[in-house]
Amino acid sequence: MNVLVIHGPNLNMLGTREPEQYGTLTLEEINSLIVAKAGELGLKARCEQSNSEGDIVGLIQAGDFDFLIINPAAYTHTSVAIRDAIAAAGKPAVEVHLSNIHKRESFRSHSYSAGVCIGQISGFGPSSYLLALDVAKAHLEQ
């Protein structure tokens, strides 16, 4: 069972970007945690990052996954294109965020993509991704 993990814009800056908000782990370190946890669950995770909305849409449209875990980052609040790609893929997805988007600036509490996902996990730092893997495993076994 293949899980595609997509990290949106600016997440390549993790570790140095606003560590009080996002923590000190780098994206590479988070990806290592994701791949290890997926392996423990009998899943295969592929992690991708892009600052480009079109590239993210392309990854989703390629459909090379059974389950999608996506952190659209800033595109959460702006991208109908990513929302529509998730809906068109017809595959289960979970939206994740490192920080609790509902405790931040008001514009961050709106998500275009959450409505086409089976759920949203936010505010648990890197564990948000690991919790999403547990959801993926349970959902794919139904």
Tokens 């370190």 found at: 29
The more confidently predicted of residues 114 and 136 is: 136
97 given a catalytic annotation = yes
**Which of the following is catalytic: 22, 75, 112, 129?**
22
Q: Which residue has the tokens 């009998």?
A: 42
Q: Is the model's pLDDT at 61 over the cut of 80?
A: yes
- Note if the pTM is more than 0.75: yes
| Per-residue pLDDT tens digits for 72-114 | 999 998 899 999 999 999 999 999 999 888 665 665 657 889 9
Is residue 22 flagged as an active site residue?
yes
CATH of 2-140, one of 3.40.50.300, 3.40.50.800, 3.40.50.9100, 3.90.1150.110: 3.40.50.9100
Beta bridge partners of 71: 7
Query: Of 7, 75, 97, 129, which residue is the catalytic one?
Result: 97
Q: How far apart are the first and last CA of the chain?
A: 13
Say what percent of the chain tops pLDDT 70: 94
